[in-house]
């Protein structure tokens, strides 16, 4: 089985759905943000403050491309799709899935979250703007699953079905 790359906006459930999907597939799950935090020994927020977004993006791409392209589920940070070479990598080496979620649902989920540097400040406005910019990029994914009204288990099952079609 080719590795499945789960992409989507912050708060769209990639990490939880990815864990459940890996359980269904009886395979390994890797999370690019967790790997970056382990490697850098700090939180993503600290990394953005101390070294900046460009540094983070470089690491993110390197980690993506270092992970196995067979028999895995990779859950990614919401911005991994910004970089064209990351999109190409996911298309060429695995199954690229976009987990869509309505921005109003995401907004509610992230209301009290302070861990996402790109939403700091005017959170609702920043989220809407970023969502609009990113949506057409996410939509390039060959598999799109709308998770807005799905539970974690339902979303994982839906991906499981779609990748086996
Ligand atoms: C980001 C999403 C975050 C994290 C970083 C940047 C983004 O991951 O990688 O804060 O640019 O959308 P989640 O999507 O897991 O929140």
pLDDT in tens, 53-96: 999 999 999 999 999 999 999 999 999 999 999 999 999 999 99
**Which of 33, 53, 117 gets mutated to test ligand 1 (max ligand atoms within 8 A of its CB)?**
33
Round to whole Å and give the CA distance between 89 and 84. 9
pLDDT of residue 36: 98
Burial class (CB in 10 A: 0-12, 13-18, 19+), 88: exposed
Looking at the domain that runs over 3-15+25-120+151-163, which CATH code has it been given?
Answer: 3.40.50.300
117 CB under 6 A from ligand 1? yes
- Cβ neighbours of residue 92 under 8 Å, at least 6 residues apart? none
Q: State pTM to two decimals.
A: 0.97
Structure confidence by residue, pLDDT tens digits, 114-150: 999 999 999 999 999 999 999 999 999 999 999 999 9
Atom index in ligand 1 nearest the CA of residue 10 equals 14
Rounded distance from Cα 10 to ligand 1 centre (Å): 5
CB 129 within 8 A of CB 103: no
Over residues 144-163, mean pLDDT:
97
Residue found by looking up tokens 């779609």 in the block: 162
Closest by CA position to 58, among listed 27, 38, 41, 79: 79
Q: Convert the pLDDT of each residue in 29-43 to its tens digit.
A: 999 999 999 999 999
Q: Is the CB of 137 inside a 6 Å radius of any atom of ligand 1? A: no
The pLDDT value recorded for residue 164 is 84
């Amino acid at each position: 089985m080719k590795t499945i790359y789960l992409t989507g906006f912050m708060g769209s459930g990639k990490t939880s759905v990815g864990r459940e999907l890996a359980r269904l597939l009886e395979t390994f799950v890797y999370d690019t943000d967790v790997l970056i935090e382990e490697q850098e020994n700090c939180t993503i927020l600290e990394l953005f403050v101390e070294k900046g977004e460009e540094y983070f993006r470089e690491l993110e791409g390197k980690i993506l491309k270092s992970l196995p392209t067979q028999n895995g589920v990779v859950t990614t940070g919401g911005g991994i799709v910004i970089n064209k070479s990351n999109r190409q990598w996911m298309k060429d080496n695995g199954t690229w899935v976009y987990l869509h979620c309505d921005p109003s649902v995401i907004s509610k989920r992230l209301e009290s979250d302070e861990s996402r540097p790109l939403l700091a400040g005017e959170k609702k406005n920043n989220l809407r703007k970023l969502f609009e910019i990113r949506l057409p990029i996410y939509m390039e994914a060959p598999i799109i699953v709308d998770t807005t009204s799905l539970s974690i288990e339902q979303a994982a099952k839906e991906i499981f079905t779609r990748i086996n079609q």
